[in-house]
Amino acid sequence: MASISLSNVVKRYAAVSKDKLATQVIHGVTAEIVDGEFVVIIGPSGCGKSTLLRMVAGLEEVTEGQIKIGERVVNDLEPAERDIAMVFQNYALYPHMTVEGNMAYGLKIAKVPKDEIKRRVDKAAATLELSHLLTRRPGQLSGGQRQRVAMGRAIVREPQVFLFDEPLSNLDAKLRAQTRLEIQKLHRELGITSLFVTHDQVEAMTLAERILILNAGVIEQFDTPDNVYKKPASTFVASFIGSPPMNLIPQSGNDAGKILGVRPEHLNIVPVPVDGSWTVKVQTTELLGAERLIYAKYDDAPIVIRVDSDAVTPTIGETLHVMPRADQLHWFDAKTEKRIA
């Protein structure tokens, strides 16, 4: 196992013609991932998260800065020399090989002794509950089973670092939830340093020990899931993490220059106006099983209120009075969009 150190890492693609400038997609990323840590990289499409992961893997060149795995600078090393294993969105299994053959193939190429290959494959298969499927071929497996085989192929390498590039994207919601639990269990048992890229915040919040949030190639926040949710470092993080996201309300008058943030679950409906309450107008509602979302307007700002599903359903156009919880308010600078302590 090993730590991962990113020091002022930049990725820039050369101009494709004289009329166009070079394109920079990663802007000086610096982060330390400690030995054995599970870090999730998340951000919107095009933010550079997969590019950053591919630079760690050696599949993309580093334009500037330094990447270390353990004590080694790996900028100029080939992927095979970095002692990493990667799990992709595409399972990339050999259809003519059995599960056992797919898991063992990389070790055979590396000329690992047969007894050692069998030991590693059997151990990984037992960990991933694949022992009874070793003689099957990929076409006889479900999507979730194929992804477990892909993970098993990575595990038998016994690498210093696991790199996951949106490995659950091809699975349905139920299988995604099941596979998340398996990945959690796997990390607890193996304790191998892991970088996991996803666009799904549920995956990020449930899997990560720390979350690295990227926005246009820049780190917005690198923190625990709890702090990312409860103490977002910027309006971007506040609006990106959470479903529905935090309500962000520009202030006027004496509070001009600030933005007020409050989570939907921290707005309580009150029967009559009181000091500090807001008067809002209902736009629509959405039932989500155990809870209901009320979409409303406060002045000109759209807001969302989360209530229990057994609460009285308001009608469209109805006026409600809501009281934000005073201990759950967040303030951001309107100019920098950064959190105000």
Q: What are phi and psi of 226, to 5 degrees?
A: -65, -45
List pLDDT tens digits, range 161-215. Answer: 999 999 888 888 888 888 888 889 889 888 999 999 999 999 999 999 999 999 9
For residue 92, name the pLDDT band (cuts at 50, 70, 90).
Answer: confident
Residue 341 in any domain: the answer is: no
| Same domain? 312 vs 184 | no
Q: Which of 237, 266, 283 is the last residue of a domain?
A: 237
- Tell me, yes or no, if the pTM score tops 0.85: yes
pLDDT digits (tens, 9 = 90+) for 30-84: 999 999 999 999 999 999 999 999 999 999 999 999 999 999 999 999 998 999 9
Number of domains in the chain: 2
Same domain, 60 and 144: yes
Domain match, 213 and 271 both: no
The 301-308 sheet, strands edge to edge: 267-270, 319-324, 278-288, 291-298, 301-308
The verdict on 208 and 233 lying in the same domain is yes
Please report the pLDDT score of residue 253 as a whole number.
Answer: 64
Cα dihedral 97, 160, 207, 218 sign:
negative
257-301 pLDDT, tens per residue?
Answer: 899 999 999 999 999 999 999 999 999 999 999 999 999 999 889
Q: Does 337 score more than 90 pLDDT?
A: yes
Q: In terms of Cα–Cα distance, which of 281, 285, 316 is closest to 302?
A: 281
Is residue 132 situated within a structural domain?
yes
Same domain, 204 and 102: yes
Q: What is the mean pLDDT of the chain?
A: 92
pLDDT at 88: 85
pLDDT of residue 171: 80
Residues of the domain holding 273:
245-333
Indicate whether 181 and 255 sit together in one domain. no
Q: How many angstroms separate the Cα of 265 from the Cα of each of 201, 271, 322?
A: 18, 17, 11
**Residue 338 belongs to a domain:** no
- The reply to whether 340 falls in a domain is no
Helix (DSSP H) and strand (DSSP E) numbers for the chain: 8, 18
* Boundary residue ending a domain (185, 212, 237): 237
Residues 116 and 254 in one domain: no
